Amino acid sequence: THWQAIEHFQIQGQPVTRVKLTPITGRSHQLRVHMQYLGHPIVGDTLYAAPEQLLVPRLCLHAKQLSFNHPVTGESLTFNCPVPF
């Protein structure tokens, strides 16, 4: 996983960092596992973060852009969505 720190701020008085993550292999839970392994689990991750690290009621993981080839036409498709948090 490639990562880049984007912004530092606080949630409920706890320091957090907005990070751009780019998966390399696309394995299941790759981003969540790597961030937990580094000691920085994703905010709101009920599977990989300790309960005191949840801070918000949802997982703060968002796909900003998805690209793939259409399964029938083969056309390259890209969809963008702004980060909601």
Higher per-residue confidence, 20 vs 52: 20
Residue 54: what pLDDT? 84
| Distance from chain centroid for Cα 19 | 8
The answer on pLDDT for 84 being more than 90 is: no
Q: Which amino acid makes up residue 64? A: K
pLDDT(16) > 90: yes
pTM score of the predicted model:
0.80
Task: Determine the pLDDT at residue 72.
Answer: 98
Say yes or no to pLDDT of 85 above 90.
no
Encode pLDDT of 29-64 as tens digits. Answer: 999 999 999 999 999 999 999 888 888 889 999 999
Q: Got the DSSP string for 17-74? A: EEEEEE-SS--TTHHHHHHHHTT-PPTT-TTTS-GGG--SSS-----SEEEEE-TTT-
Contact 25, 18 (CB under 8 A): no
